[in-house]
Structure 1
């Protein structure tokens, strides 16, 4: 996978994505009918008085009559935005909206982003705590250390709903799942492993704490920060780091790695040198999770230790430690039993469930989503984010752990029914188009894009190529198409095949083919020459007819009827087969194919 073409996009494309259709990434949609005066009266006054009075009498009924039990707030002050640092609350909003979208996409959890313009932990804590009546859970995000520790601990103690700082615990849970499976493959017991952690920020310390909760011995873990290993009595060590101090003679990361079984990195690019990897134990486990560039690139580590199992935070290498495998389903399970907190038992249950899922046979949906087959092994120790079983397996494990540990206010009585409901929550039609795309990827074709001077068509052609669906053939004026490609920041413009009807060497053959076809239908050679030269759909269809393309796409700038007429001048259906049009309608709970919607009145 390391040599697979990395998906990329320009700043302009990212901004275009965020501004088109409607600004941002989220919206609120009514879940009840609002079509009549009666609907309005039920939704607001006077009908709303009934649930108000019921909740006032029994607060638990808020879960029955409001959206609270399925609503999570994603809250940040923007002091540690991804890899960008402290850019403030407002600048963090796109990230928080993105997190809210992931909650909905992967676990059907409704989510609202809230950005608080304060770096004062006390003010932040007070603001969040006062919002407890509004939400069923709180996801803290992108808050710098050590304030994130103070804020999360205070809110967990004060609030009676789940509160989780995902930058800490999400990463910890997924990395723990990976460690379980890496140990399984290398014949190790976690409790016997010697682990070196490089980085002592929020994520690194959370990963260390969870690993210890799952069995690794305190004395077997050396945590390093910029000043080297943390040991008792060392200077510049705060209370959170000192909790992980151990007696050691090592005074550098290199020395600490001598004979280590596991390297867990949440630090900086290039922090792990290849020559140090050589000093690790047999079959070393290397989790280099710095983003966007890991502590060591997987190919560099493999070059010196082919027996290593390697995970990173990147999607273009195997074993991505991706938080989206955790937080949606952890909150899903916690919300469904009205858990009052997310405790250690729930995090461990999530990690174990994720690890077990990776060891099972990978379903077809995952192969469809990624265009390749996955199987448990050193390059697949963590499930793919699009594995549809995550919802059922992880959420139910978290819910059960909440019940077993006594923090569930609404225990589930029928777990089989609950697991079935989890499967039904996600729209099964979301995989429809993915399956179509991956069928195309498995049998790539040359597709002629007849309107390649249009931005939207050109973007589609670029993605068509970059996603591996086939080879795009661009029809248009050469210099204009190249200029458009340059505007879209394509750096390999000359790699695209552009067919210009004014200059193409195929034009004489096209003229001969089309005149022979149309000469008995009233068309002169001059008519044919004009159509080939001026009608993009005729020219594109001729590319297909003469074997220079397998299919064509058109219809953006002209009506369907006009486009179809022009194509029919060149191409006939196969013998004994009827051409037809089809529309695909994807609803929340269904997919409908409608035919014929375009060509045949009575198909």
Structure 2
């Protein structure tokens, strides 16, 4: 259990900022186990029990609850119960069924199953409506092997002959906490109309999602797996339940606190889903419905929703030793614990990992780039290719304990690269022969890493490129424009920053390229930004900024923004975009709604700001970063046919890593290469870290 416990400790820290010590106890006797754990009580604020089998787990948890004055919870039991209870309430609401009328079949009668059943009863299910099966068949009053704690869900002995197949006929709900592949499609067919199926056995559910939905289109289904909709994942519960309990110094985790967590999770699911979640799960739209009955683990609202609900229930039920009076301040403090930038980075990482791409690092003779390359491979977000002097690169790596095993290093200047230089040079000459470049110069330019890297991307030998750490912005962009070129229909490139704010991701443009765009150019920049934001599975809500509001000034600057907005709406009427408007209106909904109720921006949070010129955009970005203390990714280059992204001089490893994730996500939509298949056949990138 050591790896499981260590992993759980990491989840406590990541999701709720709780420091955890995993302690494995080599003791089989329940009473001795209780005595050992009880003796540890003065050192810790709470105890999360893990990997204890039934029936010992019931006795151990009850004894510790009796004798300890700190929260004790066996997550294997109660975590699954809390998450699945929230999912069940939502599923039944969608299916228009009352929980007290629902006929529920449960396969499995172990610790988790009993905790689920008891919590379902607490939220309204009736004991007489359950049919429960264990390894010996249905639980009925004629059996002599049923312990006292399960008597309340036994059926009459006249049902002793019932099999799972009998019970499933006209059942409203199936809950599986047993073994894989015990449900047949015929059993699913026999259920009542609009059934609910929770097949939570892992790794193989009682019936697979595709098999179940193939025979019942009116089905709502949840499993324990992340590759199907509605994953019942305990990480939605234990970090936040303990956070709330610890923050009020609760003496226990009682039924009221568990029910508060259930209610908070169920209600959160019905609210609009933040952009960060759709980004992480690569879905354009996510809303309360049959495929979304429980929040996603990466939802940034969970901590500030579930923990306060649990803390409030602890206070109201009398088990809290510390009171919270300012709940708004408490929620703000919770949000500051985990940092939105960390959550956004995790969301970007999740999207990048779905389809890692080959990333050329043109400035590889740099410790920051080498550390980022190692991280990219270890985190499975991309397959790095390093350009530079191999001896220099390997020395930097050796001096700083950076593992470059399996990462290709290419030096465009060496004799071994001569053939490739000639090949790339001829291609470059063909592109630039009537623009002042001769054959000799074209081949010679391929010794330059930016040119060589861009040519790798152009020819499909790489999927994207990162450069700019040690050279200025124009020198990095120029080869990209000459070799790769702009997207079809694009006449001007643009630069965008992604800023991590407390309200969510905020996109700013143009911040780096166009000095004084015309109305047509500003409209084109807006459409480029909208395309990039949509690529991240975020719905763009765009405010086009000026110093006036909706025609309040007739100056040339205001008219330009107003005209640009009209062009944008003509080209893409579906885009949520309005202006011209002052910056204050973008973030003050009350003023906007009161004075300009006609604008479509009063619905939802504005997440994209378009500035009238480069000076305004660059100044605003720098002020936001310095005074607001916000982290950012950028500048993200827009309008290039294939992904080339430019780093700021002096970027940190974190910034480079974030930009690498953006480049990979960009490449996922712009390149058609089957990178995984290519990597399989290649001799490179063969490391244990990515062979899981």
TM range (shorter): 0.5 to 0.7
Which of residues 277, 286, 290 is equivalent to 1:374? 286
Distance 1:317 1:504, change over 3 A: farther
Cα gap change, 1:503 to 1:374, in 2 (>3 Å): same
CA shift at 1:399, angstroms? Answer: 1.3
Contact 2:373 2:384 in 1 (8 A): no
Match for 1:165 among 74, 77, 89?
A: 74
CA contact (8 A) 1:286 1:311 kept: yes
Residues 427 and 561 (structure 1), Cα distance of their counterparts in 2 relative to 1, 3 Å cut: closer
Deviations for 1:251-299, whole angstroms, at most 9, x for unmatched residues?
2111111211110001111011111111111111100000111100011
How many corresponding residue pairs? 473
Q: State the secondary structure of the residue aligned to 1:196.
A: strand
Secondary structure, counterpart of 1:392 in structure 2:
helix
Tell me the distance in 2 between the aligned counterparts of 1:550 and 1:96: 38
Shift of 1:443: 13
Which of 512, 517, 526 is residue 429 of structure 2 equivalent to? 512
Q: CA deviation at 1:237?
A: 3.1
> Does residue 1:388 correspond to 2:275, yes or no?
no
Residue 540 of structure 1 and its aligned partner are, at CA, apart by 2.1
CA 1:596–1:366: 2 relative to 1, 3 Å: closer
Structure-1-length-normalised TM-score: 0.68
DSSP-derived class of the 1:114 partner: coil
Counterpart of 1:421 (choices 305, 312, 333) is 333
Asked whether 1:263 is paired with 2:174, we answer yes
Aligned-residue offset at 1:322: 0.6
User: Displacement of 1:501 after TM fit?
Assistant: 7.7
3-state SS of 2:77 partner:
helix
Task: Give 1:432 deviation, angstroms.
Answer: 4.2
Q: Residue 585 of structure 1 contacts residue 593 of structure 1 at CA under 8 Å; is this kept in 2? A: no
Map residues 456-475 of structure 1 onto 2, 5 A cutoff.
457=373, 460=376
Q: CA deviation at 1:424?
A: 3.0
Shift of 1:364: 1.8
Instruction: Give SS of 1:269's match.
Output: coil
What's the CA shift string for 1:124-179, capped at 9, x where partnerless? 11111011111111100111222111110110011111100000000000000011
**Match of residue 256 from structure 2:** 345
Cα distance in structure 1, aligned partners of 2:20 and 2:357: 41
The secondary structure found in structure 2 opposite 1:306 is coil
Using the alignment, how far apart are the partners of 1:214 and 1:503 within structure 2? Answer: 68
Q: In the aligned structure 2, how far is the partner of 1:160 from the partner of 1:254?
A: 46
1-side partners of 2:248 and 2:234: how far apart? Answer: 22
The correspondence of residues 19-418 of structure 1 with structure 2, limited to 5 A, is 92-247=1-156, 249=159, 250-372=161-283, 373-418=285-330
Deviation at 1:231, TM superposition (A): 0.6
The 8 Å contact of residues 429 and 439 in structure 2, kept in 1 or not, is answered as no
Task: Report if the CA contact (8 A) 2:261-2:310 is conserved.
Answer: yes
Counterpart position of 2:398: none
| Residues 1:126 and 1:539: Cα distance change in structure 2 (over 3 Å) | same
Name the SS of the counterpart of 2:100 in structure 1: helix
Map of 1:59 onto structure 2: none
CA distance in 2 between partners of 1:444 and 1:225 (Å)? 43
Higher relative contact order (CA 8 A, sep 6+): 2
> In 1, Cα distance between the equivalents of 2:108 and 2:338?
37
1:346 shift after superposition: 1.0
Return the alpha-carbon distance in structure 2 between the equivalents of residues 571 and 216 of structure 1: 63
Query: What are the ranges of 5 or more consecutive residues in structure 1 without an aligned counterpart?
Result: 1-91, 467-471, 477-486, 489-499
Partners of 2:200 and 2:222 within 8 A in 1: yes
- RMSD of aligned residue pairs (Cα, Å): 4.3
CA distance in 2, matches of 1:326, 1:273: 31
Distance 1:127 1:257, change over 3 A: same
d(CA) in 1 for partners of 2:110, 2:355? 46
Which sections of structure 2, spanning at least 5 residues, go unmatched? Answer: 365-369, 388-404, 407-416, 483-491, 495-511, 515-620, 635-646, 652-692
